[in-house]
Structure 1
Amino acid sequence: MQSMTGFGSREAEIKELGRVYVEIKSINHKSSEIISKLPEGMSWLEEKIKKVIEARLRRGRILCLMTLTGGKSKSVFTNTQLLKDYMSGLRRIRRYTHCKDEVTLGTLISLPGVVSLADNKALLRKKWPVLKKLVTEALASLIASRKREGGVLAAYLLARLRHLNALVDSIGRCFKKAVAAKLENFLSDEEKENFLKVSDISEELQRVAFHIRNFMRTLKGAGPKGKELDFIAQEMQREINTTGAKSFDVLITSRVIEAKSEIEKIREQLQNIE
């Protein structure tokens, strides 16, 4: 079982690209949302990275950060045609204004568009398999982190379920004692029957017990299960609410309140399970 919260990273020296650092972190989310923050000019890699992550993770808000230090991922580009147009325009301005100031190299390279940094796309495409390996390793580190936290959450949920199961058993025993004492106060079978119609919680308790077993079975299964577990917990909550509404005994009501609290704790933690 995986939590939706985790962190993973990898760093490597890649020939011609320099030092490459990849960081992937995730937090809980109702579905899957993948965001990539890549170096300037590498946005075309976003879809490739998204596919790598989607193949391994189903839920969570996932942020992938990549940085490059050094290397040759960029080169200096000089727009010579634009420079010629600037020079031609400057000559016309000089003739028109009779200005004798000399045009310096610093002035020329500061003109918009003359000199810029160009992305070495051919190099980046050639290096994608190496970058993909780095992303995959960072993703594996993230998944290991999510599994560790998932194990902690699973232990917590099992403890809550055991307590909930004990409360359900206790409610059942309290109900048998309370209903036996209550029935002694009725004179006719009809009164007893009418009382049991509105007060009997046996079926509700049986359904809660079934949902607890189903929850445990699902919890131990493989694959993403957060949404399924939350649905089962909702069903448990519904049956316990009905049990509380039918209660005629203070002790039963007290146990029901405890059971509700346990289910709320369970549902709160389920929000962070994939």
Structure 2
Amino acid sequence: MIKSMTGFGRGEYMDNEYRLIVEIKAVNHRYNEIVIRMPKNLGPLEDKIRRSVSSALVRGRIDVFITIDEYGEKKRAVRIDKELAVAYNKALDELSELFAMPVKDRIYQIAKYPDVIRAEEVTEDALSLWPKLSQAVSIAVNNLMQMRITEGLNIQQDLIARIAVIESYINSVEERAPQVLVEYREKILGRMRDLLGMIGEEPDVGRLVQEAAIFADKTNITEELVRLKSHLAQFHTALHIDEAVGRKLDFIVQEINRETNTIASKANDFTVANIVVEIKSEIEKVREQIQNVE
């Protein structure tokens, strides 16, 4: 079953301490491009997030948005800049000596100076959050995949219908091809009779057969029709493969278009030319659809 490249998925993990929300948006792209936007403290988890997403989403422009809320009591630590405290203490000694005055409550005084004592929040190791975050990522990916599968089913049904239309046109070309030769033979014969009738001569049947044979060889589209049917059969098969087939379908459509162009140039028939125009119109619609296939 084919999958669409577009979709959206949301996943959430919540406990007494954290709420982690993951939102993934995917759109058409020739390759697999993953862009992750998340809080700076989750940076060490980027590679894990990328591998988790890319293992399920093979192709497309994929934007991952991650937010985190903390509900538990924040842990804090007091940091002392010992080198700065020593420098302040030395400066106080120099002032005490300079003015011949003792410095009272020295420790308290130094502690009040800027940056000697700082209270900092203790951030939990990002790797310890991965078991929680991975659950939210998995839920978001699964939800996005379901949307891709649903949209892919709609695309698949549309492609099957359009390929059926192309096949009906090909059948019409196949039915028309023998008649083209008959009409050409009659046309040449009519012209020869008109021209030779002016001088009282009969057409040369041998020459007529020769001209018809040359025309038949130039306008023979049997090989092109066989290859075209083969490409359409491959397209049908690819539609039911459970893997990323967007690039494969695109290649097959190029080959279908190539054979159709060859038929148009060789057929030398107004009716066939009109049918080819309809085929190419359907091919373009198919091409537009598969641009959204993973």
- What TM bracket, shorter-length normalisation? 0.7 to 0.9
1:95-141 deviation digits (Å, cap 9, x = unpaired): 7xxxxxxx9x99936x9x956655321xx322311211121111111
Match status 1:119 vs 2:123: yes
Distance, in Å, in 2 between the alignment partners of 1:206 and 1:115 is 79
The TM-score normalised by the length of structure 1 is 0.84
Equivalent residues in 2 for 1:70-109, closer than 5 Å: 70-71=70-71, 76=76, 79-81=79-81, 84=84, 88=88, 108=114
Alpha-carbon displacement from aligned partner over 1:10-51 (angstroms, at most 9, x marks no partner): 1232332x2211111111211211221111211111100111
- Indicate the SS of the match to 2:244: coil
* CA–CA separation in structure 2 for the residues paired with 1:216 and 1:87: 80
CA positional deviation for 1:176? 2.1
d(CA) in 2 for partners of 1:245 and 1:263? 17
Give 3-state SS (helix, strand or coil) of 1:200's partner: coil
2:102 matched to which residue of 1?
A: none
User: Structure 1's 216 and 192: CA in aligned 2 closer, same or farther, altered over 3 A?
Assistant: same
Distance verdict in 2 for CA 1:108–1:83, change over 3 Å? farther
Q: Residue 244 of structure 1 is aligned with which of 239, 259, 264?
A: 264
The residue aligned with 1:157 is 159
Q: Unpaired runs of 5+ in structure 2? A: 96-108, 190-206
Identity of matched residues, %: 31
Q: 1:166 to 1:85 in 2, by over 3 A?
A: farther
Amino acid of the structure 2 residue aligned with 1:195: F
Partners of 2:24 and 2:140 within 8 A in 1: yes
**Residues 48-86 of structure 1: CA distance to partner in whole angstroms, max 9, x if unpaired?**
011111222211111111101233697556542179359
1:177-192 alignment runs, 5 A limit: 177-184=179-186, 185=188, 187-192=207-212
Q: Is the 8 A contact 2:23 2:65 kept in 1?
A: yes
The answer to whether the 8 A contact 2:264-2:273 is kept is yes
**Pair 1:116–1:198, CA change in 2 (3 A):** farther
Q: Distance in 2 between matches of 1:49 and 1:87?
A: 46
CA distance in 1, matches of 2:77, 2:118: 8
| Closer, same or farther: CA 119–253 of 1 in aligned 2, 3 Å | same
1:262 aligns with 2:282: yes
- Note the alpha carbon deviations across 1:187-238, whole angstroms, 9 max, x for none: 4222112112221112211211121122112111221111111111111000
Residues 106 and 164 (structure 1 numbering): CA distance in 2 closer, same or farther, change over 3 Å?
Answer: farther
Give SS of 1:241's match.
helix
Any residues of structure 2 matched to 1:1-274 within 5 Å, and which? 1-16=2-17, 18-71=18-71, 76=76, 79-81=79-81, 84=84, 88=88, 108=114, 119-121=123-125, 124-184=126-186, 185=188, 187-274=207-294
- Secondary structure of 2:3's counterpart equals coil
Number of aligned positions between the proteins: 262
Q: Match of 1:42, SS?
A: helix
Alignment CA distance shift 1:218-1:108 (3 Å): same
What TM-score do you get using the length of structure 2 for normalisation? 0.79
Query: 5+ unaligned residues in a row in structure 1: which ranges?
Result: 96-102
- In structure 2, do the counterparts of structure 1 residues 232 and 84 end up closer, same or farther at CA, with 3 Å as the change threshold? same
Are the equivalent residues in 2 in contact too, given 1:72–1:120 (CA < 8 A)? no
Matched residues in 1 for 2:73 and 2:235: separation? 51
When Rg is computed on C-alpha atoms for both structures, the one with the higher figure is 2
